[in-house]
Amino acid sequence: MSAFKQHMPLAKYSLRMCLTFLSWVPVVYVVTEHVAYIGKIEGMSMKPTFNPPESPNTRNHVLLWKWGVTNINNLEVDDVVFLRSPIDPEKIYTKRIKAKQGDLVVPRYPDTRSRVLVPVNHIWVEGDNVHSIDSNTYGPVSTGLVIGKATYLIWPLDRFGPIPLGGRECREAKLRHSYKE
Amino acid sequence: MLPTLAVVNDSAVVDKRYKYGRNVKMGDLIVARKPTEPSSLVTKRITGMPGDIILIDPSKNSLQRLNQENLDMQEITPLDNSSYDNYVIVPKGHVWVTGDNLNASLDSRTYSVVPLAMIEGKLVYAWYLTGMLSMFTNSPRKLANTFVEE
């Protein structure tokens, strides 16, 4: 007991530090879950924008903005989004939005359906790589599956900056416009 | 969801271990995000699992204009329901959901299959509460899965 009394200030200090630390745990949890987080891009479906072949061993990291991303008004064409797979809910895909609600899309393989109309609150997502399992396989996806929007490339440091553009144009209205020019 | 859940004042316990459709079964009551409006949640019953073949709703539009006055049955030309009198195969990772009150339910018959990833949980208990006193008169009801394979 006397030993405890002797170290009383130290014990008090550690207890206070512990409680201060613990009180921040829920704050950090809410921020990482609902506001912003760092997302790691795995796989090759977004080549060459992410994980380019020049550096095969570094995985690209992006700043992932999560607040309000299920609202279609906060998503734009050519944004890179993380979404829960419609085929397997435990998997997370990184894809680029190529069309939004109301757009008429020309799919990559128009043999089954020549044109696809994207329904309300749905988006058409594609990988920048041709070898990608995307909306050309599973069709338009609801914005409710989106879990975050990639806003900045933060790792590796030599590629730091905004997300580069990529992919193809698939909206019929824009394609027709470009033919005219 | 009548008659399973009341229109108003019904509180329910949602088991979030079933989030993202983990271990959901045919006949379960689930809470899911509406695909055409992800900001709102809907309560439906799972009536089709991946791989099932679903006949959408051939009775759709067949009873319209019946409450019209001076109705001559001969004059009725049935409204087009060809898009509802159709079969759908539920794709992998999706479920078919319908409300229990089919006449007044907006469900998979309109917005098609729902991805498992949009399921928020499974309803396990419901309690009809209108005020503090009703806690003693009403008891919580267990929402059972009444699905039987024929």
pLDDT confidence of residue A103: 94
Contact A89 B116 (CB under 8 A): yes
* Residue in A95, A98, A100, A149 annotated catalytic: A95
- Identify which of A122, A138, A142 has the shortest CB distance to residue B118: A142
What percentage of chain A carries pLDDT values higher than 90?
60
Mean pLDDT by 10 residues, chain B (150 residues): 90 95 95 95 96 90 65 66 88 95 92 95 94 89 89
Does the pLDDT value for residue A44 go beyond 70? yes
- pLDDT tens across A89-119, in order? 999 999 999 999 999 999 988 877 889 999 9
pLDDT confidence of residue A54: 76
* Residue in A5, A12, A14, A45 annotated catalytic: A45
| Of B111, B94, B109, residue with least CA distance to B34 | B111
DSSP letter at B16? Answer: G
> Would you mind telling me the total number of residues written for chain A in this entry?
181
**Cα-to-chain-centroid distance, residue A171:** 21
The string of DSSP codes covering B89-134 is EPPTTEEEEE-SSGGG--SHHHH--EEGGGEEEEEEEEEE-SSSTH
pLDDT confidence of residue B85: 87
Give the pLDDT band (50/70/90) at residue A21.
Answer: very high
| Chain B residues closer than 8 Å to A145 by CB | 115, 117-118
Between the two ends of chain B, the Cα-to-Cα distance in Å is 23
- Identify which of A89, A138, A143 has the shortest CB distance to residue B20: A89
CA–CA dist A62, A153 (Å, integer): 4
Contact B38 A119 (CB under 8 A): no
Q: What is the pTM of this model?
A: 0.86
| CATH number given to B10-61+70-141 | 2.10.109.10
| Chain A residues closer than 8 Å to B39 by CB | 70-71
pLDDT confidence of residue B15: 96
Contact A85 B38 (CB under 8 A): no
CA–CA dist A50, A82 (Å, integer): 13
pLDDT confidence of residue A9: 84
Q: CB atoms < 10 A from the CB of B29, how many? A: 24
| Average of per-residue pLDDT across A25-33 | 96
Reply yes or no on whether A5 is catalytic. Answer: no
CA–CA dist A73, A63 (Å, integer): 20
Does the pLDDT value for residue A4 go beyond 60? yes
| Chain B residues closer than 8 Å to A70 by CB | 33, 38-39
pLDDT confidence of residue A95: 94
Q: Which domains does chain A have, with CATH numbers?
A: 2-180 (2.10.109.10)
List chain B domain ranges.
10-61+70-141
